[in-house]
Amino acid sequence: MWPVARALSFRLLFSELGAAGSLRHPSWEKPRARMIQDVALAVQELSFHIRLATAEDAAALREIVGTTLSHPHGKGRRAVFRSAAQRGELLVLERYDPKAREWRVGAFVDWHMRVDDVLTIRDIGTEGEVPHSGMVKQLIMELIRSLSPVAMSVKVRADATEWNDVIRSITGFSFEGSEYRRPHWINVWRWSRESAERAAHVQRAPRFRR
């Protein structure tokens, strides 16, 4: 069992229902129970969770995934997710579908942690014709929080503009170089804790008016 599996617990974009009490206002006429119900629905519709995949997720992933690092233009599909799930190296992000009132897999990340604590991203995929940047970022940030790698690498086809833009936008990633794999050029991106901390420090630095 992956030692940090419990860290991949249910995560809401907003706070839990206990925070609903802070939304009370004297001018509101709705009973408090109705207010809590409305807040619960709003939170539920905007919620997601990340968990370790199981072998049973393979069929759902093949059905919903539209674009991946390995097939950025959606012309191919990964044949097997089962082996990655069995190794405990596959995460899925599930989002709540308010219309169907059920949880549905929307994205995945396949990774491998080396003995030197360097994380390699093998593949990432999301639903839709173009990568969902929010889902990709949440999955990568979950790996960083849970595994605490010293560095991370991911390879993206040079002609996959949307995927390169998504990786570039994640704090700590920088372009390392390109390599040729017939018939495509591949961009190599690298993340390190030091570069992430430097970037975060720059973002927090106060700006003074002259």
The C-alpha atoms of residue 182 and residue 23 are separated, in whole angstroms, by 57
Domains along the chain with CATH numbers = 5-9+49-204 (3.40.630.30)
Cα 102 to the center of its chain, rounded Å:
19
Give pLDDT tens digits for 68-120. 998 888 765 555 788 899 999 999 999 888 888 888 999 999 999 999 999 99
CB atoms within 10 A of CB 57: 19
Cis peptide before 183 (omega within 30 of 0): yes
Is pLDDT of 10 > 60? no
Asked if residue 28 has pLDDT above 50, the reply is: no
**Does pLDDT of 148 surpass 60?**
yes
Q: In the chain, what percentage of residues exceed pLDDT 70?
A: 71
**Rounded to whole angstroms, what are the CA distances from 125 to 110, 138, 161, 163?**
9, 12, 15, 10
Q: Of how many residues is the chain composed? A: 210
What is the per-residue pLDDT for 27? Answer: 41
pLDDT band at residue 44 under the 50/70/90 scheme: very low
The whole-number pLDDT of residue 35 equals 45
Q: Which has the closest alpha carbon to 149: 110, 114, 105?
A: 114
List helix spans (H) across 148-179. Answer: 161-168
Residue range 35-63: average pLDDT? 70
